[in-house]
Amino acid sequence: MQPAIIVKNLSKTFRLPGERRGTLRERLMKFHQRNEVKARKTLDDINFEVMQGEFFGIIGRNGSGKSTLLKILAGIYRPDKGSEVTIHGRIAPMLELGVGFNPELTGRENVFLNATIMGMTRQEVSERYEKIVRFAELEQFMELQVKHYSSGMSVRLAFAVAMQVESPILLLDEVLAVGDFVFAEKCFAHFEECRKKGRTIILVTHDPSAMERFADRAMLIHQSRLEAIGNPHDVLQTYHALG
> Stretch 155-161: mean pLDDT, rounded?
89
Name which of 172, 197, 192, 186 is nearest 92 in CA terms: 172
The Cα–Cα gap between 216 and 160 comes to 24
**What DSSP assignment string belongs to 75-94?**
TSSPPPTT-EEEE-S-EEEE
pLDDT for position 65: 94
pLDDT for position 233: 96
Inter-residue contact 133 to 160 (CB < 8 Å)? yes
What percentage of the chain has pLDDT greater than the value 70?
88
pTM of the model: 0.82
**Number of other CB atoms surrounding residue 29 within 10 Å:** 11
Which residue type occupies 235? V
The Cα–Cα gap between 174 and 31 comes to 41
27 pLDDT band, cuts 50/70/90, is low
The CATH architecture that domain 3-90+168-241 belongs to is: 3-Layer(aba) Sandwich (3.40)
- For the stretch 107-130, pLDDT in tens is 999 999 989 988 889 999 999 999
**Number of other CB atoms surrounding residue 74 within 10 Å:** 17
Name which of 18, 49, 54 is nearest 203 in CA terms: 54
Spell out the domain ranges in the chain.
3-90+168-241, 101-166
pLDDT for position 210: 82
